[in-house]
Structure 1
Amino acid sequence: MSPVVVTRPARDAAQWVGDLQALGIDALALPLIDIHAVSTAPLQQALVQARLHAQAGRYQAIMVVSGNAATHFFTPALVAALAAQPGGGTRIWAPGPGTAGQLQALGLPPGCIDSPAADARQFDSESLWQSVGPRVGTGTRVLVVRGTSTPALEGGNGRDWLAARIAAAGGQADFVAAYERAAPAWSSADLQQLRALLASDPLWLLSSSEALSHLVAALPRHDWSACRALATHPRIAQSATGHGFGRVLQCRPTLADVAASIKSEHERR
């Protein structure tokens, strides 16, 4: 049975590999995005200021784009301040169950977290908006906590669709970068191992178009037409097809859906 390659950042990948192996699936980690704290003074200062504003109750909602965003933004002091707010305080928006779970692990009460319905077709900004959109109106201020890629921006990159919806409803979205994303630093030995892995006909579990771009950039002359991918969002599936992957499957980014899709693919072969 060919392996499943989990391409999430290292911390997430380790969790996913463990969970998949517990279900009897041969999985290994190949993180395709390196995550680290913001590294420049302007980014650090903007992050400190955003935390102070959040602690002071300046925002009606804080949207964190991922578990990594949650981990790098929420300090114990900020969590305690938000948890102590009376009913109707700052809402914390999560695009999916993984992020919601990380927020709870950090100490935020489940009752203050908004996320898409459990049976949503996808876990993304569009599905989240269906849950939170009706409560956004004139004067609503939302802080969007996200990552940034090179060149680093204080406000980070991504989720502009959500900002447009907030603005259209009369609200305002502010942005802050809580962490930085980068491509892995491939050594010649790493690339040799990557080529050997490709020879085993793995199933690539893709949860980010950026991670996919890093993979393709590592082997710019590789023909991906014989490769298979399982994407956890339609946009990622479209990106994999655009890069030439010969077989691209799609499922929701939950462990149950991913495991079922993997097992179905293995049975097909």
Structure 2
Amino acid sequence: MVRLIVTRVQPQAQQWADRFAAHGDDAVVLPLIDVRGLPDVTAVRAAWLNLSNYKAAMFVSRHAVDYFFLARPASVPDAKALAAMTTRWWATGPGTAHALLDHGVPVPRLDTPPEQAGQFDSEALWQQVHAQVQPGDKVLIVRGDSVAPDGTSVFDNDQGVGREWLAEHLRQSGAQVDFVVAYQRGAPFWTDVQCALAQSAATDGSVWLFSSAEALGHLQNLLPGQDWSAARAVATHPRIAAAARGLGFGVVTQTRPTWEEVRASVESLT
């Protein structure tokens, strides 16, 4: 039985591993990104207070949604009153869309690529929403900030390409784009046991599951000099697949980011 290395952020990593295990797969959780709240949420609260001035609010991830709502000021109406707002809520994929719905965003005001779409990213979202945008509109992009171990911000290459691509297309359509950071992402702190597991999984035929290009950067820093030529990976986006190949993974399969298709891709490697 092939072993799967699930690198998603917790708690999603454990949820995916449990689902694989329920189908008889050997899945091990080895998160490659740590997510945490901000020490100062003043900017997020200000964004909430001005939310009605935006044509749309776009969220880069489920975590962006959760931390944005966690910082909602007490003076802002609760989720049941969101239906009265004209602001649209944009999500790049089903996980982010479901998070918005869980927080009370009404279905008619939610825009996201259909779950049967071939990709879930800013490009796919733009196909759904570009007709909404008019010159003079304001759009808020809610994102995370990548931080180094010392707490300083670092270049964010995980969803930055898609974010900036969307922002540029919005500007070309005459819209004003504002950004707000709602949470922080950083490298995890691995134990000796986790490091040993990763080193073993680089050579023993395990299949690594990647849903983030940033995660691959953290993996390189956690195991500098590791030879990945015998390792296999399943990646859920072309940019992530390219990052895995760039790190040296010998076999990289690209698939859509649904559990069913990820598992099918894993089976194709066994």
TM-score of the aligned structures, taking structure 2 as reference length: 0.89
Deviation at 1:129, TM superposition (A): 0.2
Local SS of the residue matching 1:224: coil
Matches within 5 A, 1:143-162: 143-150=140-147, 151-152=152-153, 158=160, 159-162=163-166
Q: Give a deviation string over 1:191-233, Cα, whole Å, max 9, x none.
A: 2333234353210100001001111111111110000000000
Deviation at 1:188, TM superposition (A): 3.5
Match of 1:240 among 244, 247, 254: 244
Match of 1:124 among 121, 125, 139: 121
Would the aligned equivalents of 1:114 and 1:132 in 2 still touch at CA under 8 Å?
A: yes
1:85 equivalent to 2:84? Answer yes
1:134 equivalent to 2:131? Answer yes
Amino acid at match of 2:263: A
Match of 1:63 among 37, 46, 58: 58
CA distance in 1, matches of 2:256, 2:179: 27
Deviation at 1:27, TM superposition (A): 1.4
Identity of aligned residues (%): 45
Deviation at 1:9, TM superposition (A): 0.7
Match of 1:210 among 207, 214, 217: 214
- Quickly say closer, same or farther: Cα 1:144–1:82, change in 2 above 3 A: farther
Structure 1 counterpart of 2:235: 231
Q: Give a deviation string over 1:72-117, Cα, whole Å, max 9, x none.
A: 002475552652316xx11100001111111112222222110013
CA distance in 2, matches of 1:242, 1:112: 39
Cα RMSD over matched residues? Answer: 2.0
Match of 1:164 among 156, 163, 168: 168
1:198 equivalent to 2:202? Answer yes
TM-score of the aligned structures, taking structure 1 as reference length: 0.89
CA distance in 1, matches of 2:87, 2:197: 47
Match of 1:180 among 147, 161, 184: 184
Would the aligned equivalents of 2:62 and 2:96 in 1 still touch at CA under 8 Å?
A: yes
Would the aligned equivalents of 2:83 and 2:105 in 1 still touch at CA under 8 Å?
A: no
Q: Give a deviation string over 1:173-195, Cα, whole Å, max 9, x none.
A: 11011100010113434323332
Would the aligned equivalents of 1:2 and 1:200 in 2 still touch at CA under 8 Å?
A: no
Would the aligned equivalents of 1:91 and 1:112 in 2 still touch at CA under 8 Å?
A: yes
Unaligned runs of 5+ in 2: none
Would the aligned equivalents of 1:117 and 1:131 in 2 still touch at CA under 8 Å?
A: no
Would the aligned equivalents of 1:145 and 1:175 in 2 still touch at CA under 8 Å?
A: yes
Give the length in aligned residue pairs.
258
Structure 2 counterpart of 1:8: 8
Structure 2 counterpart of 1:37: 37
CA distance in 2, matches of 1:79, 1:102: 16
Deviation at 1:167, TM superposition (A): 0.2
